[in-house]
Amino acid sequence: MQRVKKKSSSTQDVGSEFKYSSNVTVLKCNNIPVPDLTQTTASAVVASFAVFCFLWSVNGDFVFDDNEAILNNRDVRLETSFFSIFKHDFWGDNITSSSSHKSYRPITVWTFRISYWAAGGYNPLGFHIVNITLHAINCVLALRVFSVIFGGISVSREGFKLFTSPKSSFLAALIFTVHPIHTENVAGIVGRADLLCTFFFFLSFLCFTRTFSTASRQTASALPEKLCPGSLCACVIFAALSLFSKEQGITVLGLCLVFDILQVTATKRKSLVQITKTGNVAEEDHLWLKTFAKRVSVIIITVLIFMTWRFRVMGANPPKFQHGDNPSAFQSNVLARVINYNYIYCLNVWLLLNPFWLCFDWAMGCVPPITSSTDHRILAPILLWLIILAVLWKCWMLIDCHVARTLLMLMAFSIVPFLPSTNIFFTVGFVIAERNLYISSFGFCGLVALGIVVISEYGNFHKVIRVCICLLVAVSTLRCLQRSQDWLSEEKLFRSAENVCPLNAKVHYNIGHVLSKKGETESAIKYYRESIRLNPLYDQPLNNLGNLLQELGHPLEAEKLLSKAVNISRSFAAGWMNLGVTKAHLKKYKEAEECYANAISLRKYYPDAHYNLGNLYLEIKNFKKAVAAYRKVIEMKPDHASSWINLILLYDELGQSNISLQLGKKVLALMPRSPGLMYTLANVYGKAEKFEDAEKLYLQAIELDPNQAAYFGNLAVLYHRWQRFKNAEEFYLRSLQIDPHNPTTIKNYKKLQKTLSHKR
């Protein structure tokens, strides 16, 4: 009789039959109604979905936090020293400053700098392509991490085995890929911090699992009996890179510890019980126990070093936030804070379950705090914790079961990366941050896939399950595409939040800000007033509304609003500067000077405040201080055209036309395409009767900006004085075509007509 040889494969489903030394039971995954793909094919499918879901976001602009983290961050620009990245926070401020958010992410800022260089400036397309690519890579890595978690690590008679579970891991990775909660991470460019953090996070975890597959391959134990320093060192390095990308990165070491403990519990439970009872360690258990202790020690010591170093980097001072950023943190007593924090945890879970309820910002009224024991929302955290505790207890009772260990590991992936956002270790500056759920959603998606696996094993529901999976993937993909559209522009993003959080003062403020930039002043004022009504202590809309009213000729109301803004936030540098502008307009020069001084003291690099201070000194005829102020602006920002123009005009008014012209030539070399500068310098040349030089500059300014009536009008005056009357007539008429009611141009043109009539 011929013997039938059994086929062997390096890729086994969890349901493959092995006799484990620890009598571990596993869950079969053969019945899941999903394709059984190779690792390469599954990776290609997952990556394709990742790109397709967020492909439309490549057309997006810089929106919301992108403005501060990228456009206004000097560390992104190539002219700034590379080493400044390591001295500043994520937003470009000094990390040790009391006003800093203390977010230290030099690797993320470095990639922004590379994108800036590669795109030749602030081209959002290049930034978006990098984000989409990173998400696709993370989804492929997620497939591998899911393979480890679902497959498990155990031992047969042949030695150590790292099993994989192609069907279940593919299903989990696909759900993770298309989850709409990731839209902010991918479509919002600042979400790159989470994408990079997750990239190194997954690599660190995979390296840690390699300590098992490399050190125990030749042993009969399910745990390595050698420390495997190479894989462990790589794990620590990638953890550090993850931490430098975003603060959540440090939590990967906690997950490594959970993974290690679960392996010990599963494979050496009897030995641990025996050691606990007798206090004696058998000779056969000595090596793995010693190695386990070393791994745990390395992880704990590394965490302590990272946390100590991180605390020192931010100047040993935690960040300070306002009430509107995180109202729960400002509740009157500990119990109220705990209840509200737990309610927020429930909302985060709900966002993972229902990603159709998304908002770019959840502060300022989006989530009203629970202030009464009769508030029915208290039931939500109670129910959440009952479910968690019940699941943990059940899993512990069935710890020998591979399903229980998988469930525990996926729960750890959901909870541990979320810990920095819980307000337990330090107060955070947000209520809910969708982009912080990127890693936690990995564990959640794994739990969904595990539920489908379990259901597939009981009952004949394959057709129903297949339809449900297809529907889940299709609906999630469509939601990703739709939500990506919201992130294409700031107005779309802010408008999308108006229905989700109508009580959020920041939503109304941001809509007003966008409308103001578009010139829709009346609508902007309406939204600013609504924002102030919802939150009377919100300094930003007070400031912006004050500026608008100042421009519209209502300085008294503007002064009142701006004074309130700086009284609410004494460190509001922009508010102090704007209040100074308003007081200067009201001829309250001494008070205006004090406001500018406050603004400058609060913000070391503040060219606009110095510029307005220079204008104040110019108005009160203190020319020496005006010159000093303008030169201070130029020292900070050499391309500040308005300061150069005022300085040139000031020297000309003081009768120092030679200095004025020398400055003009110097600045033209620095900014050769500034029509305003050319126009100003042409006026100086004209007054000095250097007509040819003046004519040349006027014509260049007109070529660069042909819609300025003043350019044509002053060139006409030049020709008039130069007695080139035909040219003067031509340019007076061209000026009046642009601005037909300009009294000066009309008066000069009438003078020219009289001159021409006398000549005839």
The Cα-based distances of 725 to 679, 714, 720, 732, 742 in angstroms read: 21, 14, 6, 10, 20
Say what the pLDDT of residue 462 is. Answer: 82
Residue that the structure tokens 């519209």 belong to: 552
Say what the pLDDT of residue 204 is. Answer: 96
Phi, psi of 156 (to 5 degrees): -105, -175
Give 413-443 as a 3 state SS string. Answer: HHHHHHHHHCCCCCCCCCCCCHHHHCCHHHH
Residue 431 and residue 363 in contact, taking contact as beta carbons nearer than 8 Å: yes
Q: What DSSP line would sit under 116-137, residue for residue?
A: HHHHTSS-HHHHHHHHHHHHHH
Residue that the structure tokens 């493959």 belong to: 16
H/E stretch holding 295: helix 283-313
Half-sphere exposure for 484 (CA within 13 Å, toward CB) = 26
Whether the CA torsion 534, 535, 536, 538 is positive or negative: it is: negative
Residue 108 and residue 69 in contact, taking contact as beta carbons nearer than 8 Å: no
Residue 208 and residue 233 in contact, taking contact as beta carbons nearer than 8 Å: no
Say what the pLDDT of residue 283 is. Answer: 61
Rounded-to-integer distance, Cα 477 and Cα 480, Å: 5
Angle at 101 between CA 98 and CA 105, to 5 degrees: 125
Residue 578 and residue 606 in contact, taking contact as beta carbons nearer than 8 Å: no
- Write the single-letter amino acid at 293: A
3-class secondary structure, 546: helix
Render pLDDT for 26-67 as a digit per residue (tens, 0 to 9). Answer: 445 567 788 888 888 999 999 999 999 999 999 999 999 999
Say what the pLDDT of residue 332 is. Answer: 81
Rounded-to-integer distance, Cα 81 and Cα 83, Å: 5
Closest to 428 measured CA to CA, from 342, 341, 349: 341
Whether the CA torsion 400, 406, 409, 414 is positive or negative: it is: negative
Half-sphere exposure for 739 (CA within 13 Å, toward CB) = 16
What lies within 8 Å, CB to CB, of 337 at 6+ separation is 328, 329, 331, 423
Q: What DSSP line would sit under 598-655, residue for residue?
A: HHHHH-SS-HHHHHHHHHHHHHTT-HHHHHHHHHHHHHH-TT-HHHHHHHHHHHHHTT
What lies within 8 Å, CB to CB, of 702 at 6+ separation is 675, 708, 711, 712, 715
Rounded-to-integer distance, Cα 438 and Cα 448, Å: 16
* Ranges of the chain whose pLDDT falls below 70: 1-30, 152-165, 213-227, 266-286, 316, 459, 759-760
Residue 181 and residue 193 in contact, taking contact as beta carbons nearer than 8 Å: no
Phi, psi of 722 (to 5 degrees): -80, -5
Alpha-carbon torsion, ordered 426, 432, 437, 441, to 10 deg = 120
Helix and strand numbers (H, E) in the chain are: 32, 2
Residue that the structure tokens 């014509």 belong to: 699
Say what the pLDDT of residue 396 is. Answer: 81
DSSP H stretches of helix in 178-223: 183-187, 192-215
| Terminal CA-CA length for the chain | 129
pTM of this prediction? 0.81
Say what the pLDDT of residue 281 is. Answer: 59
Rounded-to-integer distance, Cα 608 and Cα 577, Å: 8
What lies within 8 Å, CB to CB, of 206 at 6+ separation is 141, 144, 145, 148
Say what the pLDDT of residue 313 is. Answer: 82
H/E stretch holding 153: strand 153-156
Render pLDDT for 176-206 as a digit per residue (tens, 0 to 9). Answer: 999 999 999 999 999 999 999 999 999 999 9
Rounded-to-integer distance, Cα 190 and Cα 185, Å: 7
Say what the pLDDT of residue 33 is. Answer: 80
Say what the pLDDT of residue 628 is. Answer: 92
